[in-house]
Amino acid sequence: MNLFAIVQYDQSFNSNEWFILASLVAGYTLILILPKRYPPAYTLLFLFIGINSGIVFDHTISIPPFDFYDVNDSSKFEIYDFLSYIMYGPFGYLFFYLYDYLKLKGYFTFLYIIMWSIIAMFVEGLATYLGVFHYKNGYQFVYSFPFYFYIQSLTLTLFIILMKKAPPNK
């Protein structure tokens, strides 16, 4: 079995590219129109956390030795793969923004993480349906939930620590 064989799923500009472009435009537009809660450096940090969370976890399980899925039209890295990572930025930002806005504590923090893990599953399901993700090597959709729950728990913990140690001047 060749772990580095390139699989081509399609060669057309179709639903997966449109999904990525629409997500990018909608997500970054929403960030621009929301009332500002953070200085620009914090906004960029929260966007980068979302982007890097996607990159780290996608590359942890989507490349050999695991190789559980391919992204977009081919198993090789392409420009829309890069854009799909940038697409994660607004999700990260909104995750922190709403948590801060709602001023959640205790049990509600746990429910918030569960809610966002379900939102992430919905978005992944839609993206999979539209051809952004192609599962392989036994990977199943439901396996993604623990990854979302873990990364959101970890990043929210870091957010809470940051807000206590270096609260932004709002």
Please write the tens of the pLDDT for every residue from 67-109: 899 888 888 888 999 999 999 999 999 999 999 999 999 999 9
Which pLDDT band, with edges at 50, 70 and 90, does 58 fall under?
confident
pLDDT tens-digit series, residues 131-154: 999 999 999 999 999 999 999 999
Spatial CA neighbour of 67 closest among 14, 2, 122: 2
What pLDDT, on a 0 to 100 scale, did the predictor assign at position 117?
A: 97
Average pLDDT, the chain: 92
Whole-prediction pTM: 0.91
> Distance of CA 79 to CAs 22, 63, 71, 92, Å?
16, 17, 11, 21
Residue 4 has pLDDT above 90, yes or no: no
What pLDDT, on a 0 to 100 scale, did the predictor assign at position 91?
A: 96
Which pLDDT band, with edges at 50, 70 and 90, does 35 fall under?
very high
> Mean per-residue pLDDT for 17-45?
97
What does the alpha-carbon distance between residue 18 and residue 24 come to, in Å, rounded to a whole number? 10
CA 121 to centroid of chain Cα atoms: 10
What does the alpha-carbon distance between residue 56 and residue 21 come to, in Å, rounded to a whole number? 21
Residue 45 has pLDDT above 50, yes or no: yes
Dihedrals phi, psi of 74, to nearest 5 degrees:
-155, 160
What does the alpha-carbon distance between residue 56 and residue 130 come to, in Å, rounded to a whole number? 22
Residue 1 has pLDDT above 80, yes or no: no
End-to-end CA distance of the chain, in Å? 55
Element at 133 (helix H, strand E): strand 133-135
**Residue 166: exposure state from Cβ atoms within 10 A (0-12, 13-18, ≥19):** exposed
